[in-house]
A and B are shown apart, each in its own frame.
Chain A
C-alpha cells in the first residue's frame, strides 16, 4: 500500500468552535458535555477552548444558553459579532457565547457566481431536523422539501450524502470481511465521524490501524462529485463548487484536512450546518413550509434506507450488517430491522451469526464512552470484530450543527423524534440495502470497478496521522 504524505493540521489556525468572552458567564454546562475536556476556565469566568484537544463536535454550541441581550452594555454590537461568526446579515436568531464558524456567506457567493457549477450534498440527519427551524414539530421528516429548497437556492445538482453512505457500506463492509478473513487488525473501527477520528489521532495514535481506511460519506461524495460527477454532468472539475450540508460542526474540520484532495482539487469546498442551511433558505426568501416535494438528482443522489440510518447511533453497523450478511452468506438477511444494534447514549454489544461466523460488534454513542473500549483493546481483553463510534449523544441527529433546542426539557424529545423519523424514512424507502442501490451498482460498473479496487483505494480510502 502506497503511503500518502499527510501533514498534520490542527484546529489552532482555523478554529471551528469558539466561546465569546463577552457573553460567557462561566456556568460550566459546556464543560460537563465536552467529551474531551477541552474547555478551560474558572467557575463564573469566561471559558476558553483548547484547540489542540477540541474535536469540534459542537455539543457546547448546543447546550450554551448565555445569549447576547439587547440590554447588555459594553459588549460589541450585534453586527460585529455576526461578522466574526461568519453569519449572513439577515440572521435574526439570538447569539450565544459558544458558537461555530459560519460559512453561509461563501455558499451565497458561490451560488451567485455563474462561472461555477454548484453541487450540494446533505447528510442523513439534516432531513429529520431542518424543518424545526421553520416551526414544524421536532424531528419532522422533510427530504422532499429539503431537496426543493436546495434547488430553489440555485444549486445545479442536488446530490446526497446518503448515496455516498451506501458507497461507504460497499467499501467498509468489504474491508471488514477482508480483515476478518485475512487476519487483519481487529476490531475495525468505523471512520465516518470526524470527531472520533481526531480523538483517536490525538489520544490513541497507537490504535490508528484499527480505524477503517474508508473516508467518511461526506468526503466520498466530495471526491466523487469532482471525478465521476464531473463525467456524468459533463462539466470540468475545476468549475465544480461542492457544498456539503451537515448536522455536524466537525465536518468543517474534516473537509479542511489537507489530504482531502484526491479528486485533484479540494474535494468538498464548503461545509455548512443544518442551521446555516435554514439561514440561507430564509435569506433567499424561500417559504420552506409551502414548498412542493422536490427530488434529488439521479447519478449521485439515489439512496437506500441503509444510507439514511447513518444518521443515528447503530446505523452504520446496521447498514453494514444488512450488506455484509448477504455478501458472506449469499442469502437474504431474515429481518432487515436489526433492533439489537439500535439504542441511545452509551455502549451496546451484540453477537450476530453470519453463516459460520459469529460476528461480535459494539456500538458506542457519546465519545466519552469510547475510552472504556479503547482501554480494553490496549489490554487485549476486547474480542470485537467491528466497533461503531459516534461522538454525539445519539449519533448525528444530535450533532453540534443541528437546530439548537433552546430548553433542556425539549432535548430528549428532539433526540427521540429525529431518531424515530430516521427509522420511519428507512422503513418506507423501496430499497433498504446499500448493495441494492442501482446508482451505486452503476458507479462501480462504469467508474470504480470493485470495492477496495484500485480506483476505490485511490479515491475513497485515506490514512490517519498521530497528533500526540
Chain B
C-alpha cells in the first residue's frame, strides 16, 4: 500500500474576505482556451470550489481528495478513480446520477453543463419536454476540484487568492511539521519541570 496521502486545498476562514477570486481563477483554469481578460470568456464561469458565506464566516469549500473516497465507492459506473495522488472524475464516463453528490460529506461535487468553443454540449439521445415541444437536453456531468492537473504553476486558486487564504496541504509534510512544532513546544515546557 502507498503511504503517500493525497494532497488537498484548504482555506483559512480568518483570512478569506469572500472576493471570489478563487472561483474566477478556478473557472478560468478549466476553460478550453487561455483567458486573461474577461472579454475572452464566452461561456459561464464554472467553478470547482464554492465560496460559503454565512452570518459568521466566509470561506471556499472544495474536495479533500479522501483516501477512501466515498464518491468513488458509490459511483455505479466506476467513473471516479485515484490518479497520481488525486481523486479524479472521468467526465466522459459520468452518467449524472448524483450518487457521488449524496455521498460527499463536503458538498464538493456539483453537476454542471459542459461548454466547448463557447457553445453548450448537447446530449446524444435524451430529449426534454418543454412548452415549445421536445428539445435537446444539455449534457450535465459531475465536477469537482482536480488540483489543477493541467494547470501550469500549481492550483490556480492558491496562486490567485489576494489574501493568501488558500493553501495546498501535503499531509505527510504537514504531519512532520506538526511533530517538529510539538517537539519544540515540548522542549519549552519540559524545561520548566526539569
- A interface list, Cβ under 8 A from B: 25-29, 44, 65-67, 69-71, 92-94, 96, 132-135, 138, 275, 278-279, 403-410, 414
Bound-state CA distance A172–B151 (Å) is 50
Interface 1/0 per residue, B104-144 and A, CB below 8 Å: 00000010010000100000000000000000000000000
Note all chain B residues with C-beta closer than 8 A to A406. 24-25, 28, 35-38, 41
Cβ contact within 8 Å between B19 and A279: no
**Residues of the A chain whose Cβ atoms lie less than 8 Å from the Cβ of B39:** 93, 132-134, 275, 278-279, 403-404
Q: A67 to chain B: which residues have CB within 8 Å? A: 20, 23-24, 45
**What is the distance, in angstroms, from B43's C-beta to the closest C-beta of chain A?**
7
CB distance from A72 to the nearest CB of B (A): 11
Residues from chain B with a CB closer than 8 A to the CB of A44 are: 18, 53, 58
- Inter-subunit contact B19/A404 (CB<8 Å): no
Q: Which residues of A contact B118 (CB under 8 A)?
A: 92
- Min CB distance, B69 to chain A, in Å? 23
Contact between B25 and A93, CB atoms less than 8 A apart: no
12 contacts between A and B (CB under 8 A): A25-B53, A44-B53, A65-B24, A67-B20, A67-B23, A69-B23, A70-B113, A92-B41, A93-B38, A93-B42, A132-B40, A133-B40
Is B18 a contact partner of A26 (Cβ separation < 8 A)? yes
By a CB distance below 8 angstroms, the chain A residues around B47 are 69
The one of B35, B38, B45 in contact with A69, judged by C-beta atoms closer than 8 angstroms, is B45
A39 to chain B, nearest CB (A): 14
Q: Would you give the 0/1 interface string for B13-51, flagging 1 where the beta carbon is closer than 8 Å to chain A?
A: 000011111011100100001111111111111110001
**Taking each of B21, B23, B42, which has the highest tally of chain A beta carbons within 10 Å of its own beta carbon?**
B21
Q: Which residue of A lies closest to B45 (CB)?
A: A94
A27 to B37 alpha-carbon distance, docked (Å): 21
A133-B39, A138-B36 known; A408 vs B162 contact (CB < 8 Å) = yes
A435 to B39, CA, bound (A): 37
**In the assembled complex, how far is the CB of residue A409 from the closest CB belonging to chain B, in whole angstroms?**
6
Contacts of B113 in A (CB 8 A): 70
Tell whether B160 is near chain A: CB-to-CB under 8 Å: yes
B159 at the interface (CB under 8 A from A): yes
The 5 closest A-B pairs by CB, nearest first: A133-B39, A27-B19, A403-B37, A404-B38, A92-B42
Does B38 contact A403, Cβ atoms closer than 8 Å?
Answer: yes
A contacts with B: majority SS: loop
A44-B53, A69-B47, A70-B44 in contact; A404/B23 too (CB < 8 A)? Answer: no
User: Measured between alpha carbons, how far is A96 from B41 in the docked complex, in Å?
Assistant: 13
Q: Is the CB of B43 within 8 A of A25?
A: no
Residues of A within 8 A of B159 (CB): 409
**Distance between Cα atoms of A414 and B17 in the complex (Å):** 25
Name the CB-closest residue of B to A78. B44
- Residues from chain A with Cβ under 8 Å of B110 in the complex: 71
Q: Are B41 and A65 in contact (CB under 8 A)?
A: no
For the A-B complex with A132-B40, A278-B39 known, give 20 more contacts whose Cβ atoms are closer than 8 Å.
A25-B18, A25-B19, A25-B53, A25-B58, A27-B18, A29-B162, A44-B58, A66-B19, A67-B23, A67-B45, A93-B38, A93-B39, A94-B45, A135-B33, A404-B39, A405-B36, A406-B24, A406-B25, A408-B21, A414-B36
Measured CA separation A424–B40 after assembly (Å): 25
**Nearest A-chain residue to B53, judged by Cβ:** A25
Q: Are B36 and A65 in contact (CB under 8 A)?
A: no
B145 to chain A, nearest CB (A): 16
**Closest CB in chain A relative to B46 CB, distance in Å:** 7
Contacts of A410 in B (CB 8 A): 36
Closest to B16 in A: A27
Cα-based distance from A262 to B42 in the complex (angstroms):
42
Q: Return the chain B residue nearest A131 by Cβ.
A: B37
- List residues of B (87-112) whose CB comes within 8 Å of A's CBs: 110
CB proximity of A46 to chain B, nearest CB, Å: 11
- Please state if B160 and A132 are interface contacts (CB–CB under 8 Å): no
Name the A residues within 8 Å of B58 (CB-CB): 25, 44
Q: Which residues of B contact A92 (CB under 8 A)?
A: 41-43, 118
- Would A65 and B21 count as touching, CB distance under 8 A? yes
Asked if residues B19 and A29 are in contact (CB atoms below 8 Å), the reply is: yes
Identity of the chain A residue whose Cβ is nearest the Cβ of B51 in the assembled complex? A25
Closest to B33 in A: A135
Q: Which of chain B's residues has its CB closest to A92's CB?
A: B42
Rounded to whole angstroms, the CA-CA distance of A44 and B38 in the bound complex is: 24
**B-side contacts of A66, CB under 8 Å:** 19-20
**Contact yes or no, B17 A27, CB < 8 A:** yes
Most buried by A among B19, B39, B45, B160: B39
* Given A29-B17, A29-B19, CB of A94 within 8 Å of CB of B44: yes
A28 nearest in chain B by CB position: B17
- Taking CB atoms, residues of chain B closer than 8 Å to A29 are 17, 19, 162
Residues of B within 8 A of A135 (CB): 33-35, 40
CB distance B37 to A404 under 8 Å? Answer: yes
A29 to B19, CA, bound (A): 8
Give the distance to chain A from B167, nearest Cβ to Cβ, in Å. 17
CA distance A93 to B41 in the complex (A): 5
Would you give the shortest CB distance from B109 to chain A, in whole angstroms?
Answer: 13
With a cutoff of 8 Å between Cβ atoms, the chain B residues found around residue A407 in the complex are 21, 24-25, 28, 36, 160
Q: What's the Cα separation between A274 and B22 when bound, in Å?
A: 26
For B33, list chain A residues within 8 Å (CB): 135
For B42, the closest partner residue in chain A by CB is A92
A403 to B160, CA, bound (A): 18
Closest to B19 in A: A27
A133 to B42, CA, bound (A): 11
Assess A132 versus B36: contact at CB under 8 Å? Given A92-B41, A94-B41.
yes
Give the distance in Å from the alpha carbon of A25 to the alpha carbon of B57 in the complex.
12
Task: Indicate if the CB atoms of A405 and B37 lie closer than 8 Å.
Answer: yes
Docked Cα-Cα span, A71 to B107, in Å, equals: 14
B40: chain A residues within 8 A (beta carbon): 93, 132-135
Minimum distance in angstroms from A348 CB to a CB of chain B: 27
With the chains together, A132 CA to B42 CA distance in Å?
14
Q: How far does the alpha carbon of A65 sit from the alpha carbon of B40 in the complex, in Å?
A: 16
| Complex alpha-carbon distance, A466 and B1, angstroms | 77
- A294 to B147: give the CA distance in the assembly, Å: 45
